[in-house]
Amino acid sequence: MTSAGILSLLPATVTILVALRWRRVATALFAGIVTGALLVASFSPAAALRRLLDYLWASVADLPKLKIVLFILLIGGLLEVVGASGAPQALAERLSARIHSPRRARLTVWGLSFLLFFDDYANVLVTGAALRPVTDRNRVSRPLLAYLVDVLAVLASVMLVSTWAAFEISLLTGAGQGIGRPENGVTLFIQALPFHFYTFLAVGQTLLVAWSGRWLGRGAVPEERKREEEPVSPPEGGSGATLVHALAPIVILIGAAVLGLFASGAFFAHRRGLPLTPMAILGNAPSVDVLICATVLSTLVGIFLLRRDGVLSRRKVRHHYHRGLASMGSIGMVILLATGLAQASGDLGTGPFLATTASHGLPAPLLPLVIFLIALLVTVATGFSWSSMAIVMPIAFQLAAAYPGGNLISMVAAAVITGAVAGEHLVPYSEKTVLTAAACGIAPVLHWRTQVGHAVLAAFCAAGGFLLAGLGLPAGLALLPSFLLLAAVLRWRGARK
């Protein structure tokens, strides 16, 4: 490992600038890797090319990351097939028979989003598209629908059975190994859960909005009324899909994943002579392998039911499954290239440089707050939370390890993840903002305008929570005043719509 000093920050800086300019995170990560290779090779073309090939090979030869990519691709195929069948619309029709008021419609959106916690893209696509007719009939504006489904989709970041958890666990494992922490990534994930302040505040805020109807997006309501609403596209599956086709794959996915995690975790914990506590069980479970198996099982059952009942033909199943796999390709590329960027930054000594620099002037109580703000700003720059997590997580662990005791690891781990979540809500060009707007039938800028006030409020309150936690308050006590402040502002400034 070389010590490049302040130049060690250049690969991450180039990555951020390229992502900000072209909005292509995979391209930005590649540019960052090239920059890192040039620096490590002291700008020697031949040596830099060898380094670049080494980093690219490291990106595609990392078996744990390849498993994560496989899981995400499989989820994409499953979601596309189920969505094309019309099963989500069948679920919405069943729900609409009991929904006769704006409050019930809003709470239904809130509840269905909880059911689809395992993937944020699935959440916004299924909930937004399926419940749009229900909310239209009950006088719930589409910007409000978009706000609810977009924010509630971040539940995937704190759920162990989710696409986000698989990615986060891999980052936590690598960052922990970088500072000599041998814990399984699942253990680090669970230890960090109480400190996801922005995520909990933002989700709690949606519950207040869904119940009361008060929100901060009233400024765009006149524009929302002028727009021409888009018709809901009919599913290719026709009218044969039923509630079973919508719920069976989800129930099997969640059930098989939970059962597999506890069964395999208990087996490996017992073999290693560990007590069978929940932490030991989940910490020893091969989480990604279990999620892959659960997804394959869920997909097979879902396709079997759709074929058995004649909802989708074999050709359409194949077409939509391949389409779903392809839709997750760019995300898979980001995950793989992030490995190469991390290795280049490691060779340049980025983490030790930042740790040494920050440890001289930054008081320990301020570290969680500073990491939260850094993750937020990096996500604002890139528009993609996963890339910012990959950039900031190893640095945050290096910084936390520089302080005696190492008790800041859980807080900074959560600060990186929840800060990245907050940053994605603050920009109109993030992938999820665009996807949510499309699912709800509104323009991305309109969705951003009606959501950004809530995101700023929740981020400000979360920053206060991290400050209090850094000063030594337990997570619950640090979160309580932040939530009370958020609720008071929403009550004071929120308008019914």
- More confident: 477 or 26: 477
Residue of 18 and 195 predicted with greater confidence? 195
Tally of CB atoms within 10 A around 5: 12
> What are the tens digits of pLDDT across the range 228-279?
344 444 555 555 788 888 889 888 988 888 899 889 989 998 998 888 877 6
For residue range 270-297, list pLDDT tens digits in order.
Answer: 998 888 877 678 778 887 888 899 989 9
**Which own/partner pairs from 93-99 qualify as long-range (CB within 8 Å, at least 24 positions apart)?**
94/243, 95/131, 95/134, 96/133, 96/134, 96/137, 99/134, 99/138
Give the pLDDT of residue 350. Answer: 72
Predicted pLDDT of residue 237? 52
Residue 389 has pLDDT above 70, yes or no: yes
pLDDT given for residue 302 in this prediction: 93
Backbone φ and ψ for 214, nearest 5 degrees, come out as: -85, 130
Q: Using a pLDDT cut of 90, give the percent of the chain over it.
A: 32
Q: What is the pLDDT of residues 54-79, one digit of tens each?
A: 999 988 888 888 888 898 889 888 88
Mean of pLDDT values over 109-123? 81
Query: Looking at the predicted structure, is the pLDDT value of residue 20 above 60?
Result: yes
- Tally the domains of the chain: 1
Distance CA 215, CA 453 (A): 9
The pLDDT, as a whole number, for residue 225 is 46
> What is residue 363's predicted lDDT score, i.e. its pLDDT?
86
Residue 372: count of CB within 10 angstroms of its CB = 33
Task: Return mean pLDDT, the chain.
Answer: 84
* Least trusted range by pLDDT, from 4-18, 213-227, 352-366, 463-477: 213-227
| pLDDT score for 226 | 44
Residues 6+ apart with CB under 8 A from 56: 33, 340
Query: What's residue 63's pLDDT?
Result: 86
Q: What is the pLDDT of residues 392-431, one digit of tens each?
A: 888 888 888 878 765 789 999 999 999 999 998 988 767 7
Mean pLDDT of 206-223: 77
| pLDDT of amino acid 305 | 94
Helix (H, G, I), strand (E, B) or coil at 130: helix
d(Cα 67, Cα 72) in Å, to the nearest integer? 9
Q: Which tokens belong to 432?
A: 């999820």
Residue type present at position 442: I
Residue of 266 and 223 predicted with greater confidence: 266
- Domain residues for the domain of 392 are 5-496
**pLDDT at position 497:** 54
How confident is residue 444, by pLDDT bands cut at 50, 70 and 90? confident
pLDDT, position 224: 45
Residue 391: the pLDDT is 80
Beta carbons within 8 Å of 109's beta carbon, 6+ residues apart: 127, 131, 135, 140, 145, 148, 149, 152, 210
Contacts of 99 (CB under 8 A, 6+ apart): 105, 108, 134, 138
Does residue 31 surpass a pLDDT of 60?
yes
Mean pLDDT calculated for residue range 26-42: 89
pLDDT score at 319: 94
Q: How far apart are CA 81 and CA 329, in angstroms?
A: 16
The C-alpha R_g of the chain, in whole angstroms, comes to 23
Beta-strand (E) ranges in 111-233?
214-215
Measure the CA–CA gap between 359 and 373, rounded to whole angstroms: 17
Q: Is the dihedral of CA 152, 155, 161, 164 positive or negative?
A: positive
User: Which of 5-14, 263-272, 484-493 shows the lowest per-residue confidence on average (mean pLDDT)?
Assistant: 5-14
